[in-house]
Amino acid sequence: MKNYRNFINGRWVESPRTFEDISPVDGSVVAVVHEAGRELVDEAVKAGHRAVAGAWGRTSAAERVDVLRRIADEMERRQADFLAAEMADTGKPLAMASVIDVPRGIANFRTFADILATAPLDSHRLDLPDGAYALNYAARKPLGVVGVISPWNLPLLLLTWKVAPALACGNAVVVKPSEDTPGTATLLAEVMQAAGVPDGVFNLVHGFGPDSAGEFISRHPDISAITFTGESRTGTTIMRAAAEGVKPVSFELGGKNAAIIFADCDFEKMIDGMMRALFLNSGQVCLCSERVYVERPIFERFCTAIAERIKVMKIDWPHDPATQMGPLISAKHRDKVLSYFELARREGATFIAGGGVPHFGDARDNGAWVEPTVIAGLSDDARSVREEIFGPICHVSPFDSEREVIARANDTRYGLAATIWTTNLSRAHRVSEAMRVGISWVNTWFLRDLRTPFGGAGLSGIGREGGMHSLNFYSELTNVCVRIDQGSEQ
């Protein structure tokens, strides 16, 4: 039985309150986790401020680049440990965790090391009427101690996406991973020690949201900024708390993303892409497509092809290299997804595929499994079409014109992502730019250049991260303005 402790000011800290980390594969206990109370969170924040006020706050960009690269090297050395922890917590297949989660977690540190090494700063010369001039240049300074609250769906990838730029800018962090996925965050603390990161720079506290570590971070008066990925409702709560100190926030929240499929698409390539967009990580990716609009001439063909692909999907033990889909994150989340299956039935949906729970006849029947599901026949105002489900389910609907589908796809309070499938270059540009989202993909899905802006609109978030956008969020920029007078003639 593993024992996941808090990591504060360079030391491992137990607490009297613990909870169990449960495997979604078979319901077994993965680890006992020590829950941080208010006092431990306060200790972590103070440790972070001491680090920033001390030697860490005086490090140069080049020194921090070296630290980030050492972290990446140590993560790579322990890649097998991270893979095992990720799979134990989430139940995601080896084929996904070994290709996406762990490599991307390592890449985040290397990418932000490279970005920091070449990061520009503004410099301007202002000529004045009297012949003098002013030289203006920007200085980048850390914010202080950043609260990092990360989700359970891509726990290592999204945690490192925040921690890497925060440390690159000279901040300290107080990290709270999801209570469902504490394993990789605990390993990351071990890596920080091994990589020689100074005490107090990386602090880890375990716990829940309300009346636990999450709330204690978001309400702490000395937290300098908060970055959060998770549910829109939770983001609203954190934003209220952050408003008390007028703290900067960066939120990546929920989505009810649209896929738009035109009849002129490369059909087989589109089907391959949509199987990923619908069912990667059991549909538990904020960028997954839950609303699928298919141009009428290929609507029936699409429904048939997706149903046939689902029939041959391998839903099995995560360690099997051929497994394509694992369980949901927890029994609680499975119950939520199943409640939407029932809601869709009450709303009159036609089930093209799935709609239930697979039965294995072994320990997996104690896990959090559901079938990949495709429904059709609902109006755009049905709750199943409008509310985020966050599982392996989508609603498919035909459309007849470009203008119609743009209006329908944008008719949502969310605004995170869209994917458009067409071989018409002009249409691809028109439709992708018309989407009210943070990212529009054309003939692909889940492809990212980490230097580009990433975030959402509406209920999908606030702010942008990625590349220089991350460095600017995690920094305090000071403009230095120096007046330079004309020299007297000699």
300-315 exposure pattern, b = at least 16 Cβ within 10 A, e = fewer:
eebbebbeebbeebeb
d(C-alpha 274, C-alpha 419), whole Å:
9
d(C-alpha 274, C-alpha 280), whole Å:
10
Reading the block at residue 177, the tokens are 């991973």
Q: Is 252 a catalytic residue?
A: yes
The single residue of 215, 252, 290, 295 carrying the catalytic annotation is 252
Which amino acid does the sequence have at 265? C
**Bridge partners, residue 126, by sequence:** 134
Asked if 466 and 450 touch (Cβ cutoff 8 Å), the reply is: yes
**Bridge partners, residue 176, by sequence:** 149
Handedness of CA 321, 325, 327, 333 (dihedral sign): positive
Asked if 193 and 10 touch (Cβ cutoff 8 Å), the reply is: yes
Q: Could you tell me the maximum CA-CA distance found in the chain, to the nearest angstrom?
A: 96
The single residue of 265, 286, 288, 303 carrying the catalytic annotation is 286
Handedness of CA 4, 8, 10, 12 (dihedral sign): negative
Q: Which candidate, 479, 473, 480, 476, places its Cα nearest to that of 141?
A: 476
d(C-alpha 312, C-alpha 322), whole Å:
12
Alpha helices in 58-169 (DSSP H): 61-77, 79-90, 94-96, 102-117, 155-168
Reading the block at residue 218, the tokens are 């978001």
DSSP state of 473: H
Q: Is 286 a catalytic residue?
A: yes
Active site residues: 252, 286
